[in-house]
Amino acid sequence: MAEEAPKTTTTATTQEVEAKEEVVVTDVSPADKTDTSVPVEKDTEEPKPESEPEKKPVEETPETEVSKPSGDEKIPESDEDGAKTVEAIEETVVAVAATEKKASTEEEATKEEASPPLQPEEVSIWGVPLLADERSDVILLKFLRARDFKVKDAFTMIKNTIRWRKEFKIDELLEEDLGDDLEKAVYMHGFDKEGHPVCYNIYGEFQNKELYKKTFSDEEKRHKFLRWRIQFLEKSIRKLDFNPGGICTIVQVNDLKNSPGPGKWELRQATKQALDLLQDNYPEFVAKQVFINVPWWYLAVNRMISPFLTQRTKSKFVFAGPSKSAETLLRYIAPEQLPVKYGGLSKDGEFGITDAVTEITVKPAAKHTVEFPVTENCLLSWELRVIGWDVSYGAEFVPSSEGSYTVIIQKARKVASSEDPVLCSNYKIGEPGKVVLTIDNSSSKKKKLLYRLKTKPTSSD
């Protein structure tokens, strides 16, 4: 009679494994009393019959330990069966795990093949779909230049800009009505000599206490100002030409006349917030930064920060005091495009920005004449100004016929600097001749003369 297996040993026969659809196993050891369950499918590799036992040494592992008998001690048959069963179960579990892992991998691969590839999200910046046409090259080049052509840094900047535009809700912002209280403080007007649109920032408008309080008195109002400023810039940018070779930058003119000064911390804070956003999210949109009517304290501050600016940035900055502001602007902007208040001839009236202006420099203690020959009946109109005036001006019509008399249109008189900056005149001409304008500069300084004219045919009386 076979020796009865000790109760403290867990055993299982091969027949019992075959009879069950599930085999119960985890940390199996002959000395274990407690079983934990791992399901094993029926169609996995079956253990070999007991009649043909596989004589395989049992490895000693932390999970499975089989104690060896000492001396001539006989191994109980039930213990042999238990050891064989453990080996069979271990092999089965390993096989099942490998099969399941392979099946899982194949299933995931099948799903990946079956599911359609994710379409990239279409992203647009300033109305230009990125990577959709050649305009994208111009956009991407701006980010590269802003990061000194370091591709990784430029790519990070683009990602941050796209994220910020979503958070700031730029598309919705473009449709918002934020009022027109600031239309005199910031506005677009004309183009420079290279075709860049020009934006004027008039800081003196904030001397108006009511406007200042309405715009900067608390955080909510300053945030609204910031949204208005970004909205204004977005609308201006969308008028630019992003095609290769097109004009895609703006000239900024900053008028500091009557600026509130450094004591207005609310204005400084709002301006700093705006500048930070512009630097981070609007790269390479400034063709030139021209500061006019600059007070002494601003020049002092600029000298302090100038060493920390890159040469590329400093090359875009131009500063001019009150006496040099008009002269400086006329270096970059044609007189017909420059507003009258800044030394040009651009204003509402008979002449427009398409009517070209002639510029003449009148030397000190010199006289200059301008002649308009006329061969047919017409109405001759002209605009004229001398920057800073303080010169004598006169106009007359000289007929071509020897028997005719000269007609005084404007008797020569001294024009003070406080008078209207632009003189507009016209004269109806009924015979061939010429209109002569005379500028007498008796001062010790050279003067800039600007004028233009046009004729309109008239019927003879």
Give the mean pLDDT of 338-353.
93
Mean pLDDT for all residues in the chain: 80
Pairing type for strands 250-255 and 286-292 reads: parallel
Q: How far apart are CA 62 and CA 433, in angstroms?
A: 120
Half-sphere exposure of 68 (CA within 13 A, CB side): 6
User: Is the C-alpha dihedral spanning 246, 129, 235, 298 positive or negative?
Assistant: negative
- CA nearest to 453, candidates 369, 363, 365, 350: 350
132-161 residue pLDDT tens: 889 999 999 999 999 999 999 999 999 999
Tens of pLDDT, residue by residue over 9-31, are 334 444 443 444 433 333 434 34
Q: What is the pLDDT of residues 203-219, one digit of tens each?
A: 999 999 999 999 998 99
Closest CA to 357 of 387, 372, 336: 336
**Secondary structure (3-state) at 386:** strand
Q: φ, ψ for residue 308 (rounded to 5)? A: -90, -5
Distance CA(18)–CA(45), nearest Å, equals 11
1-5, 224-228, 281-285, 402-406: which range is least confident on average? 1-5
Q: Which H helix or E strand runs over 325?
A: helix 325-332
Q: Is the pTM of this model over 0.85?
A: no
**What pLDDT was estimated at residue 109?**
52
As a whole number of angstroms, the distance between CA 426 and CA 381 comes to 4
Residue environment code for 439-453, b if the CB has 16+ CB neighbours within 10 A, otherwise e: bbbeeeeebbbbbbb
- Reported as a pLDDT band with limits 50, 70 and 90, residue 74 is very low
Q: Which parts of 145-270 are beta strand (E)? A: 186-191, 197-202, 250-255
Token code pair at residue 399 = 């007929």
Q: How far apart, in whole angstroms, are the C-alpha atoms of residue 165 and residue 123?
A: 11
- For residue 32, pLDDT over 70 is answered with no
pLDDT in tens, 447-461: 999 999 999 998 765
Strand 186-191 relative to strand 250-255: parallel, antiparallel, unpaired? unpaired
Q: Which amino acid is at 309?
A: L
d(CA 48, CA 88): 8
The number of C-alpha atoms within 13 Å of 408 and in the hemisphere containing its C-beta is: 6
